[in-house]
């Protein structure tokens, strides 16, 4: 399993956009698959913020995670954010999300981020096990989310 910037593997953009649409369309009714492709291309920096990292094995896309300035338009005072943590179903339970999260945390730390935020509907336990703290539970687009943060030590 390798982790690399999406910018080095743009051939995966179409697949990732479709998978992200299937996973998160209920949270952003304005984003179509085409709009997600554009957003992925625009955020595919090789480092810093924004950047998207992918996990892949034998030239197969396995998962993704991103560092972005803002995620929830209701919480613009918070940032930067860990976002778009996604692992293909057949690879779940193999530690891929943990690897991607750790990679993003290290990149954020490298560029001087002190506190990183995220929102999650279903993975609160996973993030808590990795040292993230819930700071708020909120309704967003009719869905209950936990907003979490992690202080990154230098």
Which contiguous run of DSSP H or E holds residue 64?
strand 60-68
Average pLDDT estimate for 58-70: 94
Identify the burial level of 120 via C-beta atoms within 10 angstroms of its C-beta, where 0-12 means exposed, 13-18 middle and 19 or more buried: middle
pTM for the model stands at 0.90
Q: Which residue has the tokens 């998962």?
A: 63
Give the bridge partners for 65, in sequence order: 53
pLDDT number for residue 29 = 65
pLDDT number for residue 11 = 94
Q: Could you tell me which residue, 133 or 39, shows the higher pLDDT?
A: 133
Task: Report the percent of the chain where pLDDT is more than 70.
Answer: 96
pLDDT number for residue 124 = 96
> Could you tell me the pLDDT band of residue 30, with boundaries at 50, 70 and 90?
low
């Amino acid at each position: 399993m390798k982790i690399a910037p999406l910018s080095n593997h743009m051939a995966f953009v179409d697949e990732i956009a479709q998978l992200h649409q299937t996973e998160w369309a209920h949270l952003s009714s304005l984003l179509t698959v085409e709009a997600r492709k554009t957003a992925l291309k625009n955020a595919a920096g090789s480092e810093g913020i924004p950047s998207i990292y992918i996990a892949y094995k034998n030239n197969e896309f396995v998962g993704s995670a991103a560092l972005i300035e803002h995620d929830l338009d209701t919480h613009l005072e918070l940032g930067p954010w860990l976002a778009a943590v996604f692992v293909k179903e057949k690879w779940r339970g193999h530690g891929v999300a943990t690897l991607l999260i750790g990679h993003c945390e290290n990149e954020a730390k490298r560029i001087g981020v002190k506190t990183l935020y995220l929102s999650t509907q279903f993975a609160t336990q996973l993030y808590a096990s990795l040292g993230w703290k819930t700071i708020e539970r909120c309704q967003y687009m009719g869905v209950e989310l936990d907003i979490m943060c992690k202080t990154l030590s230098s």
